[in-house]
Amino acid sequence: MSNSNYTKIFHGNFITVQRIVSALEKVDINAIIKEQTETGLIQVFGGSNSDYQEVYVHKDELEKAIAIVKVESIEKTT
């Protein structure tokens, strides 16, 4: 997503990304989730990293979104 109005604010596994996106939606921030998958023989042998996802938000909502990600990250560790 280079040269776009969106910025990556988080990356992680499916479950954590869903928590982050849910928290963002509660304050009316629409996030975009980009799933990273590997191609080629790795998938054939079950070595895919398909649960790795990235969360992007519009640059106008970036500051507010980063604050929410920080809060969610703190709550996860406590």
Other C-beta atoms closer than 10 Å to the C-beta of 53 total: 21
All structural domains of the chain, each given as residue ranges with its CATH number in brackets, are 6-77 (3.30.70)
- Confidence at residue 72, expressed as pLDDT on a 0 to 100 scale: 82
Residue ranges in the chain whose pLDDT is less than 50 = 40-43, 48
The full DSSP string for 35-61 is EE---SHHHHTT---TTEEEEEEEGGG
- Confidence at residue 40, expressed as pLDDT on a 0 to 100 scale: 47
- Confidence at residue 46, expressed as pLDDT on a 0 to 100 scale: 52
Place of tokens 């928590």: 19
Rounded to two decimals, the pTM is 0.76
For residue 52, list its beta bridge partners: 13, 36
d(CA 48, CA 18) in angstroms, rounded, equals 20
